[in-house]
Structure 1
Amino acid sequence: MTFNSNLMQDKDQSLRLRSAHDYEDLSDRFRLRLRNYERQYCNLYTIRIKDSRRRLENIALKKWNKPIKKLIDLNSVKGEKCVIVGTLYKYQELKPSILREICKEYQTVPPPSRTHFVSEKDELILEDETQRVKLNGKLDVHSVVTGCVVAVYGTLQSGVFLVEDYCWPETELTKKLLLELKVDKYLILLSGVELATNKNNNLLLQLFIDYVIGWCGINEDFMDATQIVHIIFAGNCIRSKAKPKPKYGTIIDNEDDLEAAKELDYIALQLVECIDVDIMPGEFDPTNHTFPQQPMHKCFFPQSAQFSTFRSVSNPYSCRIENKLILGTSGQPIEDIQRYSNLTDPLEILENTLNWAHIAPTAPDTLPCYPFDDYDPFLLIERPHIYFAGNQRKFQTKLTSDSGYSVRLICIPSFVETQSFVVVNLRNLECKLISLEKDFN
């Protein structure tokens, strides 16, 4: 690590040098106001297909110029090419069910534990508000998941719809604002700190803090540091795995979690004095388990929450920074899609969810979520500029382009496993990984 004594300045001076930036929180649709768990999940699917159908029908008419039929009307057009719109459902024999609980109740041997639920017997079914139809043909059952809304083109033969082509809903392109950035401003994405289970990274975290503040690093690093305007902690700040269930009669020990929460507050406190910090919850962080996860309570951050530059935010999280629309999750939808398909590359899955126009299509089927009955907050209506997933095994990124509109896809690696973080230039969407062990030696 190289230190420059001329750059060792107090926090007040670092704050004055820090670039100003515009910020807008767009996560209101992920916040739960009134919580009613007596609702039926079917309402969520009804809303999803209703909102997606309008976009799909326009695309289908332009692409195939064929009539769009309801599933209930398919029998009247047997053998004729047509278009149908619906929600995909995958019949999977290996999908977890109540059978395991029944086996336990009757003290029989339960089925073997699995983490991947795909088999050659999986079937693809399309359903709308009226009925279902089995799909065969071009649409690969192992490359999609339950919950995706799609328009398929083909013919009905012997009760099965043979797919010749298909299309997904299009997301609206974000309206380009007149003011474009003329200088470099940077966003840092960090995930998987896991303070409760990995205490050996304290020195590296302090090095990260010193780098962001501008207290260490080589000259060019410091110049970049002064232009870092925002940090997003993308989940798993406390832990990434559930605590083992205590034995009957034992006291639940939360001391590690409490100490980790205090340490997280202290880390945030050092940063918010000179930069904006957003902290998202992860799967086992102290908030609700179901999607969308609500912001961790401000009582976990008694010191840093006093600053306007600190925000405890939801998962998923959406905001606008310097005219760039940013959207991401802590990684649960990516992991769930991996379990129920043959898609293994997190970056490919992230791009697929962008094409499917849905952040978490497997919710509520296999990804637990709140039973929304008036809107689906996970629908992708507006295409983001930066779309990320936290807590991945390795860093991956890709710049996609559609009609001249670019989207930066980012898989943020776990800090515990890689000791690294991601830096994105908000001016041109350039992205790089910085390793605290390699780049600071």
Structure 2
Amino acid sequence: ISKSISNLINSSNKTTTNPTTENLNQFYKIYTNRLQYFRPKIKEEATKKFPSKSTFYNKILDIQPTNLSQSIKKNQEINSIDPETFCWAIGTIYTEMKYKPDILNQVSQDLYGLPERPNNYVYREGNDDSEDSNKEIMFEDESGRIILQFDHTNIEKEILVTGVVVGILGYVDINNDLQVIDYCFPPKLQPPTVENVKQENSKILLISGLDLSQDTNIEKLTTLQSYLSGAINHNYNNESNNLVILGDSLLSYNNLAMFNEFLSTVIRAKTITLIPSLNDPSDRLFPQRPINLKLFDRLLQLNSNDVLSLQTNPTYWNSFKVFLEAGDTINDIVKYGDYNNDSDRLEIMKNFIKWQNFAPTAPDTLSIQPFDINEIDDPFVLKKEYPRAIIFGNQPSFLTASYENVELIGVPKFATTNQLLELDLNSFKYKLIQL
């Protein structure tokens, strides 16, 4: 995975600067490549899961209503519907939302910079918005698209976002929309291998969301520095010499001096791994290059080889089989609806495993490097096996779950929680530290 991320960043350097043609083609290829990759896998799984009497369509455009399907009532029990009425296809979810920024349209118009990212793509504070009126979920492939409806309330409504490749079983209603009956995702991958994973120096301290700005509470920041340096007593003295800073370190580039001072103090006691987020001084496109070393003081530059490691976002530690991401992928998906509570965020984490895709919403709402690589080299698509853990930064609170033998961990924003996390990458035992 780490090699694929590097290859993607390198390939983005070679992409054309003509946004009206080639970049849009490169964005389009991201979705078509993923559909082509997942289609045979989902078809094999759906053939086993969906009713044998249902009709499979190779192309979404070929899905047609029947007199029987258009006579089905919204409140009709699914068990009472003839399975021969059902059809299924494989495609990609596309979500149209009222407040979604049109990144691709901006690129096509050769506009510089990125559109302002709203807090939510469906709701706006102060407006009496409803999800039904502001959001439309569609199902598409190379041939066309059809609107999805979810009128059968006894069917579990998945969190479906743009870019997710899925098999859908349903029927075409009187409005020529596809009423969803069931879903099918790719077959499970192999569990993460654990041979030879045990490593020394496996304990790390994780912190994210320092959000340094002119309004930063200096006393709180000083307490954190003192704790990391071992200069103050605490009810829990951390045992790790390795600090991982997982994104959102700065609210403004004007606060680099404050960040430099923080790093220069902590680096005397800890080795530091620095991973950027979309709010930090790195690319505003995903995946992000490491923060440029030249932004830091000379003392940090001179010691960088020994105690300061600048890494990409996301990054993958092959020795531990751990994937780290600053939280941008989750924080984009929660904007697709009312998904901002802890249970929904945990469900999104699990869905990354279920979808086998870490960044489905890129490039539609998550800005991404325009790359021209095939689906095999796509670093966001899981291939043969799951990682042992996925760690996300910048969550409103500490989150943890286990799904398909993958440890899912959300690191809380320090600026709002005063919390950091000690984690053993061998056992995944953790201690949440409250300062």
User: Which of the five TM-score ranges fits, normalised by the shorter chain?
Assistant: 0.7 to 0.9
The structure-2 alpha-carbon separation of the partners of 1:181 and 1:235, relative to structure 1 and needing over 3 Å to count, comes to same
Match of 1:290 in 2: 285
CA contact (8 A) 1:290 1:369 kept: yes
Amino acid at match of 2:57: K
1:235 matched to 2:235: no
2: CA distance between counterparts of 1:91 and 1:54? 27
Matched residue SS, 1:202: helix
Shift of 1:283: 2.2
CA contact (8 A) 1:27 1:319 kept: no
CA contact (8 A) 2:65 2:173 kept: no
Matched residue SS, 2:211: coil
Match of 1:148 in 2: 164
2: CA distance between counterparts of 1:311 and 1:335? 25
Amino acid at match of 1:385: R
CA contact (8 A) 2:250 2:256 kept: no
Alignment of 1:251-400 (within 5 A): 256-267=254-265, 269-271=267-269, 275=271, 277-301=272-296, 302-305=298-301, 306-321=304-319, 324-345=320-341, 346-375=345-374, 376-381=378-383, 382-400=385-403
Amino acid at match of 2:244: I
Matched residue SS, 1:292: coil
CA contact (8 A) 1:204 1:419 kept: no
- Sequence identity, in percent? 25
The structure-2 alpha-carbon separation of the partners of 1:178 and 1:386, relative to structure 1 and needing over 3 Å to count, comes to closer
Match of 2:417 in 1: 418
Matched residue SS, 1:91: strand
1:51 matched to 2:37: yes
2: CA distance between counterparts of 1:50 and 1:150? 12
Amino acid at match of 2:280: D
CA contact (8 A) 1:238 1:285 kept: yes
1:28 matched to 2:6: yes
Shift of 1:425: 2.1
Match of 2:185 in 1: 168
Matched residue SS, 1:344: coil
CA contact (8 A) 1:189 1:233 kept: yes
Cα shift readout 1:111-146 (whole Å, capped 9, x = no counterpart): xx8745152123221101111122223677783221
2: CA distance between counterparts of 1:351 and 1:340? 16
Cα shift readout 1:378-399 (whole Å, capped 9, x = no counterpart): 2233422221221122112112
CA contact (8 A) 2:229 2:265 kept: no
Matched residue SS, 2:268: helix
Matched residue SS, 1:173: coil
Alignment of 1:106-185 (within 5 A): 115-118=120-123, 119-121=131-133, 122-137=135-150, 143-158=159-174, 159-170=176-187, 172-179=189-196, 181=198, 185=202
CA contact (8 A) 2:225 2:262 kept: no
CA contact (8 A) 2:289 2:312 kept: yes
The CA RMSD over aligned residues, in Å, is 3.2
1: CA distance between counterparts of 2:321 and 2:197? 13
Structure 1: runs of 5+ lacking an equivalent: 1-23, 102-112, 244-253, 437-441
Matched residue SS, 1:379: coil
The structure-2 alpha-carbon separation of the partners of 1:27 and 1:369, relative to structure 1 and needing over 3 Å to count, comes to closer
Structure 2: runs of 5+ lacking an equivalent: 70-83, 107-117, 124-130
2: CA distance between counterparts of 1:308 and 1:174? 34
CA contact (8 A) 1:387 1:410 kept: yes
Shift of 1:230: 4.0
2: CA distance between counterparts of 1:319 and 1:183? 14
The structure-2 alpha-carbon separation of the partners of 1:416 and 1:355, relative to structure 1 and needing over 3 Å to count, comes to same
1:62 matched to 2:58: no
1: CA distance between counterparts of 2:262 and 2:137? 45
1: CA distance between counterparts of 2:266 and 2:45? 46
Cα shift readout 1:182-220 (whole Å, capped 9, x = no counterpart): 989423221112334425133223233224xxx7657x9
The structure-2 alpha-carbon separation of the partners of 1:268 and 1:168, relative to structure 1 and needing over 3 Å to count, comes to farther
Moved more, 58-67 or 427-436: 58-67
Shift of 1:150: 0.8
Cα shift readout 1:347-366 (whole Å, capped 9, x = no counterpart): 23222233222222222112
- TM-score norm. by structure 1 comes to 0.73
Match of 2:112 in 1: none
CA contact (8 A) 1:331 1:392 kept: yes
Match of 2:226 in 1: 207
Shift of 1:315: 1.3
Shift of 1:309: 4.6
Amino acid at match of 1:52: F
Matched residue SS, 2:168: strand
Count of residue correspondences: 370
Matched residue SS, 1:337: helix
The structure-2 alpha-carbon separation of the partners of 1:30 and 1:366, relative to structure 1 and needing over 3 Å to count, comes to same
2: CA distance between counterparts of 1:267 and 1:51? 48
Shift of 1:157: 4.3
Amino acid at match of 1:128: D
1: CA distance between counterparts of 2:200 and 2:311? 28
2: CA distance between counterparts of 1:422 and 1:157? 50
Amino acid at match of 1:351: K
- TM-score norm. by structure 2 comes to 0.74
2: CA distance between counterparts of 1:385 and 1:339? 27
